[in-house]
Amino acid sequence: MESPTAARQAWMELALEQARAALDTGDVPIGAVVVGPDGSILGTGRNEREATGDPTAHAEVVAIREAAAALGEWRLEGCTLVVTLEPCAMCAGAIVLARIPRVVFGAWDEKAGASGSVFEILREPRLNHWVEVFPGVREDECAHLLREFFGSRRTLRGSQGTQP
């Protein structure tokens, strides 16, 4: 039997694959997967805001929608959401509303994270659902992908500066 840690590492690889695919459309490279209670992949998602023009098309929301459609049920009880970046407030709210009991994430989001860094929505005691959080899984890889993306954007903007 595979250990929980090994399973989380493998699931994060699938989320990283989704994150890399987001680069094809110029989206921020964040990927997510929803894993069913039996270990099967029920939904995958990547940021699609640029691709679709939808401000709610975050990787987590896309994966949650796909998983709910696969199950024919909005309650994703027993599932695990794996995402390359700490969920934001919108995504954390969607996780709570979908009744997902576990979240595994890679990199911390010190500016907009809502799973322990800036806000703590997933374990807010006043809500009717709490989520077990496993942070920092393959954190360096997840953070590196984001740093490269934003670094290349800054370089591109700098090279498009004023002409002499």
3-state secondary structure the chain: CCCHHHHHHHHHHHHHHHHHHHHHHCCCCCEEEEECCCCCEEEEEECCHHHHCCCCCCHHHHHHHHHHHHHCCCCCCCCEEEEEECCCHHHHHHHHHCCCCEEEEEECCCCCCCECCCCECCCCCCCCCCCEEECCCCHHHHHHHHHHHHHHHHHHHHHCCCCC
For 36-45, how does the pLDDT look when each residue is reduced to its tens digit (9 = 90+)? Answer: 999 999 999 9
By annotation, the residues acting in catalysis are 60
> 58 a known binding residue?
yes
> 142 a known binding residue?
no
At 154 the pLDDT is 72
At 152 the pLDDT is 83
At 3 the pLDDT is 82
Per-residue pLDDT at 132 exceeds 70: yes
> 88 a known binding residue?
yes
Mean pLDDT of the chain: 94
At 163 the pLDDT is 46
At 156 the pLDDT is 63
Percent of the chain's residues with pLDDT above 70:
94
Average pLDDT over residues 108-114: 97
